[in-house]
Amino acid sequence: MTEQANSLSVGSVLIKSDIPLPKWFRFNCEDYDRWKKLFDADSHAVERTALAVGWHFSFIAKAVKCTAFGLTRQSATQRAVRKLMEMSGVSGFNSLEITEIAVRWVGLYHATVVAHPRHLQPTPFLQRPARYHYPHRTEDVDEIYWRAAEVGPQIKGI
């Protein structure tokens, strides 16, 4: 995975290996640990293609940042990316977009990798609605208020 750490750059997209990819997803990937790294497309290309077929490549504005130390630039970057992949896997997102990579020498190599979680799926919602969720409309609230005014106050239990 050492040469893969070299190939990682700002704009790289990583997708979990265990998610079923749709038929329209024809981007070339290479294995990157338990994830896949797209090497012929960036996040904008994936998003444009997904929207064209009715899918969504959701973007989370809050960035995730991980740091790690290593004896080489590659090992430090690799450790930081591995931490990012673990964090994204736990949170339920199936993709990552690398937005910043910084490596500096402080006796050891210190790598900081910043990424935005992304999610590739057929719906625009990050979570499915609750099974028994009743969607309320603003018109319903107005109707409930006037119905309560017609009924009037009731005293119960006296």
Report whether pLDDT(32) > 60: yes
| Per-residue pLDDT, 2 | 42
Q: What is the mean pLDDT of residues 110-134?
A: 81
**The pLDDT of residue 5:** 45
Tokens matching residue 117: 């979680």
Angle at the Cα of 59 from the Cα atoms of 123 and 15, rounded to 5 degrees = 80
What pLDDT band is residue 1 in, cutting at 50, 70 and 90? very low
Q: What is the mean pLDDT of residues 102-126?
A: 91
Q: Cite the beta strand spans of the chain per DSSP E.
A: 13-16, 29-32, 35-38, 56-59, 64-70, 95-105, 109-121
Range 24-40 average pLDDT: 88
Rounded Cα distance, 93 and 82, in Å: 15
Tokens of 50: 């997904």
**Cα–Cα–Cα angle for 8, 9, 13, rounded to 5 degrees:** 75
Report the predicted TM-score, pTM, of the whole model to 2 decimal places.
0.72
Among the ranges given (3-7, 25-29, 31-35, 110-114), the one the predictor scored with the smallest mean pLDDT: 3-7
The pLDDT of 38-62, averaged and rounded, is: 88
**Mean pLDDT score of the chain:** 82
Residue closest to 81 by CA, chosen among 118, 32, 43, 42: 32
User: How many helices (H) and strands (E) in the chain?
Assistant: 4, 7
Most confident among 26-40, 65-79, 111-125 (mean pLDDT): 65-79
- Higher-pLDDT residue of 128 and 21 is 21
